[in-house]
Amino acid sequence: MGAISINDVLEGHVAMELSCVDPLYLNAYVPNLQVGGQVVQFLVSHRGNPVPSPALFEQNGNRFRKAVKDFAAQWEIPVLRLKKPDRSRFDDRKLDHVMPYLEAAQRKSRFGVVAIVAAQEMQWVFGAKNRPDKAGTGAVWFEFVKEERRIGVWYFYLLDAEFGPAFIKICSYFPYPAKVWCNGHEWAKRQAAKAGIVFTALANGFASCDDPAGLQAICDSFGPGDIQAFFDHWSGVIPTPFTPADRAAGYWWELSMRQVEVSQTLVFDDPRRARSFFEALVADNVGIGRPESVSMIFGRQVRKTTTEPFVGRIFCPGTEVHMDFSYKHSRVKQYLKEGRALRTETVINKPWDLNILARIEHLPELVDKARQVNARLLMIERAGQGCAIGSALFERIHQPYVREGQRTGAFRFGDPRAMALAGALCLMVHAVTGFTNKSLRGRVAGLLGADYSANQMSYDLRRLKLHGLIERLPGTNTYTTTADGIRVAVFFTKLQHRLLAPLLAADRPPASPELRCALATIDKQVKEYVANARLGKAA
């Protein structure tokens, strides 16, 4: 099989495309138990204790631990104790122990808590420090501060009718931070089955279905309300360290996003083409981990003051090829799923990386941004292998723009300023937030290697706009690149750096010996023709 173009495969051989929320890992915290003064108010004003003593933490923790044991005994739920703690976001080792119980419950369609895992983990909890009585009254005074300590946690592994496998983790020490893990794909599978949509499942995904549009509508409908309903239901079933009176007084958990994964899956109609396609993608995008490339995917500027690590790697465990890269606390990975689907997964570990608040009600905003990241990545990859522009567009931008009293200069290939602009647009072209005079000017100046004023940038923005390569967002000073602009910027940049520059340097290393030998033969023959025609230099 010959070389396969990414665009050929995507335009003619994608049987189904689906975007869906993948695993979700959420924080559950009590907003009014976050500082020491709130702890005192809870212990004294709310619960009526005369002294806000840390001994009350131990008493309440003991009641909670006893409630968990009684709950497990009442419902005959196995309690598994693991010796070695793991601080990973989703502990595969715990899952290995719990999986037989989950599988048995799934076979019997028995929904509920299938197992409880007891573990010791590092958690941020309140500690108390006894402060001296400066007034000399003999009173005991404790100061409550948060500190990281290894304490006991309980994992309640569930089989839910709506979400399938999930877990809720509750810390046994004040202020009882909790975590929630569930999976949007598993939720979508169950909603699709209820809606009568026939589908074939992939591991954590879909391989095919008889109503792709209906399935996508189900995935789009997933939101904070579904997650909140899940948590509200199970927090009323499992033991908790808070009493009904605590909850009525406002001492209850609220959810925020700790890790959100959003995937885009393109299932090929012919699995045999999948690997060749992905290898072509890897070969053309081997530099995707550079900070500049990461910036255009995530839509965030990379400044000199940006200290977060940027990681990009391509790796092949066994025979499978992956691309994996990151920006700040977030990452994207791309791989072939079960040899027949291209899976792109954006994992946001800190919503503020994309200027989004962490509360669960902001999930739709985060999902939308993550979907844009997935789409921008695919656009970059497609442009990398299909950026040639037609003669009409090439000729149009090489002529000055003159229309209805407006005039501006041409945008010619080879002109240093035009090439610097094209290179800058390649880096900013897919930014979710667009670009401004200031943000683009620094990049152009760097590529030019010379001074580049704000007035020059203003002129060039007008030139790009009149040629139809960029457009201004209404009511703002922000610009985005048009479809023509994407093609022109990538074409100019690749033509210069990937074709002309290597060809002009093909007579010396690192050009291949075969190419250098062929050029030497051509050069010798041309010189002989010149000599035979007596066209040499005059003596």
- Tell me the angle at which helices 483-494 and 363-385 cross, rounded to the nearest 10 degrees: 50
184 in any annotated domain: no
Q: Residue 516's domain spans which residues?
A: 505-532
Question: Does residue 290 carry a pLDDT above 70?
Answer: no
336 in any annotated domain: yes
Q: Can you give the CATH number for the domain in which 412 is found?
A: 1.10.10.10
User: What pLDDT score was predicted for residue 359?
Assistant: 97
User: What pLDDT score was predicted for residue 88?
Assistant: 45
Phi/psi at 261 (nearest 5 deg)?
Answer: -120, 125
Q: Do residue 127 and residue 217 come from a single domain? A: no
Burial of 309 (0-12, 13-18, 19+ CB in 10 A): exposed
Q: Do residue 117 and residue 230 come from a single domain? A: yes
Q: Is the peptide bond before 510 cis (omega within 30 degrees of 0)?
A: yes
Pairwise CA distance, residues 79 & 86, whole Å:
18
539 in any annotated domain: no
Q: What angle do CA 520, 525, 527 make, to 5 degrees?
A: 95
List of residues 6+ apart from 264 with CB closer than 8 A: 17, 18, 19, 343, 344, 371, 374, 375, 378
Contact present, 187 and 163 (Cβ < 8 Å):
yes
Could you read off the pLDDT of 141-173 as tens digits, one per residue?
Answer: 788 999 999 999 999 999 999 999 999 999 999
Residue 289: pLDDT band (50, 70, 90) is: very low
Q: Do residue 470 and residue 519 come from a single domain? A: no
Q: Do residue 65 and residue 85 come from a single domain? A: yes
Instruction: Looking at mean pLDDT, say which of 93-97, 219-223, 279-283 comes out highest.
Output: 219-223
180 in any annotated domain: no
- pTM for the predicted model, two decimal places: 0.77
Q: Do residue 444 and residue 516 come from a single domain? A: no
- Residues written for the chain: 539
Total number of domains constituting the chain: 4
Q: Do residue 166 and residue 239 come from a single domain? A: yes
Pairwise CA distance, residues 110 & 230, whole Å:
17
Q: How far apart are the first and last CA of the chain?
A: 57
Q: Do residue 416 and residue 522 come from a single domain? A: no
Q: Do residue 476 and residue 519 come from a single domain? A: no
Residue 387: pLDDT band (50, 70, 90) is: low
Nearest to 298 by CA among 374, 400, 381: 374
Pairwise CA distance, residues 139 & 220, whole Å:
58
183 in any annotated domain: no
- Which of 323, 352, 386 delimits the end of a domain? 386
Q: For the chain, percent helix, then strand, then coil, each to nearest 5?
A: 45, 25, 30
Q: Do residue 264 and residue 377 come from a single domain? A: yes
Pairwise CA distance, residues 181 & 166, whole Å:
6
